[in-house]
């Protein structure tokens, strides 16, 4: 019997306004993560580690950085039949509009998936979540249950569920009700799970949970094709509720670490938690590696420093400083007598040679990285920032949107220095 083909479709994200200003120059899946990765590496790696190597990434907004990363990172043996193809929004005879939602994005690209059989499967994933999942197991359960659609779902406390798609399931894990992003506490309370879900959880305790959609779907090909013949534009708001009672929809309960990186705070916290001795997300699993662009950089250099719970990517140089609870991205430079605490530093796109440093001196601008005698706390330093000497950046006690410069601002209690920003000597943001 011929094996069913699994076609993976990763949503490249929209404008990403809640993650602004990190999405000022890039889409959400292209935002750097954990020093050397991009968010899109997570779903692509989950697919590859599960044995699925036919992957499409649907993109639309601020896509250049994402396209470049994917093209540089994912190259396959021509005999293996694998690929990661980028499908950007485009005008055609059938449509002259941008993607109007997740379902519309898939609909506009269905002609690129031609050749699929009715028994093939479509695996639809988000491009901006941090998790590790055996997607082959999801497909296996989908087949075993005889489902037309399977929704991966995460048990969450009732106080965590607002803003997510919530579902009610029966004892056979079949979805009987789906409510997209409810805000009424009574509705959320009414969707509390029963024992069929609690038995699948590692340690449910005594608190009440509801079942939230992770935005990861497995569709039988015919069911998806037929569903997209409508005018529906979104899976969570329209496609899934519209299929209730018309198709067999089952849930796959996932009780492990999952972070929807939708806000600056969520992104910051996820990166900082990676510095824990035993982080909730493990990048060190050799049997399920997270793949990314191979840069062939030198090892990092640490000179006369105090380093506590930190991640340093390749090509960093840190001298006579303090690095605590921080991640330093590729080619990060931190100069003498500077301290970084709870900092996500994304690094630089290139090293500066002697002539570059001379040019910096002539122009009166700092070099890439952090200058001397700086104190930076609770901050994100985006790519290619230039921070001068004697700079203090600490958002503690200051309101959001505070700051004399839109390129250095506070979001969700986190100070963000935008990509390519120059921070002059003596610049201070502190309560």
Q: What is the pLDDT of residue 1?
A: 45
Task: With beta carbons less than 8 A apart as the criterion, state whether 334 and 340 touch.
Answer: yes
Q: What is the pLDDT of residue 14?
A: 66
Q: What is the pLDDT of residue 316?
A: 97
Superfamily of domain 301-429: Hexapeptide repeat proteins (2.160.10.10)
Task: With beta carbons less than 8 A apart as the criterion, state whether 66 and 27 touch.
Answer: yes
Q: Which of 369, 416, 387, 402 is nearest to 271 (CA)?
A: 416
Q: What is the pLDDT of residue 335?
A: 97
Cβ atoms < 10 Å from Cβ of 397: 9
Where do the structural domains in the chain lie, given as residue ranges? 6-273, 301-429
Q: What is the pLDDT of residue 129?
A: 92
Q: What is the pLDDT of residue 114?
A: 63
Superfamily of domain 6-273: Spore Coat Polysaccharide Biosynthesis Protein SpsA; Chain A (3.90.550.10)
Tell me the C-alpha to C-alpha distance, in Å, between residue 202 and each of 174, 205, 293, 390, 421: 21, 9, 35, 49, 45
Tens-level pLDDT at each residue, the chain (431 residues): 456 789 999 998 766 678 888 888 888 899 999 999 999 999 999 999 999 999 999 988 778 889 999 999 999 988 888 999 988 876 665 666 777 788 988 888 888 886 557 678 999 999 889 999 999 999 999 999 999 999 999 998 888 877 788 998 888 889 999 988 888 888 888 888 878 788 778 778 778 888 999 999 999 999 999 999 988 888 988 999 999 999 999 999 999 999 988 889 999 999 999 999 999 999 998 889 999 999 999 999 999 999 999 999 999 999 999 999 999 999 999 999 999 999 999 999 999 999 999 999 999 999 999 999 999 999 999 999 999 999 999 999 999 876 656 789 899 999 999 999 999 999 999 98
């Amino acid at each position: 019997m011929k094996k069913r083909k699994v076609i993976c479709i990763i949503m490249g994200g929209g404008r990403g306004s809640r993650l602004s200003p990190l999405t000022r120059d890039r889409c959400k899946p292209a935002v750097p993560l954990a020093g050397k990765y991009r968010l899109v590496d997570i779903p692509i790696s989950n697919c590859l580690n599960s044995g699925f190597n036919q992957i499409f990434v649907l993109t639309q907004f601020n896509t250049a950085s994402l396209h470049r990363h994917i093209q540089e990172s994912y190259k396959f043996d021509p005999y293996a039949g694998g690929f990661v193809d980028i499908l950007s929004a485009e005008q055609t005879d059938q449509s002259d509009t941008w993607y109007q939602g997740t379902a519309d994005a898939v609909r506009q690209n269905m002609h690129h998936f031609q050749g699929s059989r009715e028994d093939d499967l479509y695996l639809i994933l988000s491009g901006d979540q941090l998790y590790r999942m055996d997607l082959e197991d999801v497909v296996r359960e989908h087949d075993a249950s005889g489902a037309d659609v399977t929704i991966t779902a995460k048990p969450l406390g009732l106080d965590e569920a607002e803003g997510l798609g919530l579902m009610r399931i029966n004892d056979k894990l079949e979805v009987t009700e789906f409510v997209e992003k409810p805000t009424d506490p009574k509705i959320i309370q009414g969707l509390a799970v029963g024992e069929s879900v609690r038995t699948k959880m590692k340690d449910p305790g005594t608190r009440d949970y509801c079942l939230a959609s992770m935005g990861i779907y497995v569709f039988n090909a015919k069911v998806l094709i037929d569903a997209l013949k409508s005018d529906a534009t979104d899976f969570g708001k329209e496609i899934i509720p519209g299929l209730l009672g018309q198709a067999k929809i089952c849930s796959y309960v996932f009780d492990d670490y999952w972070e929807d990186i939708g806000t600056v705070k969520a992104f910051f916290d996820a990166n900082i938690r990676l510095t824990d001795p035993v982080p909730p997300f493990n990048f060190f699993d050799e049997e399920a590696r997270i793949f990314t662009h191979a840069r062939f950089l030198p090892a990092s250099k640490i000179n006369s420093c105090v380093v506590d719970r930190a991640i340093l990517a390749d090509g960093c140089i840190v001298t006579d400083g303090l690095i605590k609870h921080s991640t330093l991205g590729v080619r990060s430079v931190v100069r003498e007598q500077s301290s970084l605490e709870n900092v996500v530093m994304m690094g630089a796109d290139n090293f500066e040679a002697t002539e570059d440093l001379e040019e910096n001196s002539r122009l009166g601008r700092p070099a890439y990285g952090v200058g001397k005698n700086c104190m930076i706390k609770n901050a994100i330093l985006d790519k290619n920032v230039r921070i001068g000497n004697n700079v203090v950046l600490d958002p503690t006690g200051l309101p959001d949107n505070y700051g004399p410069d839109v390129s250095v601002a506070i979001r969700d209690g986190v100070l963000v220095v935008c990509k390519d920003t120059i921070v002059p000597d003596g610049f201070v943001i502190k309560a």
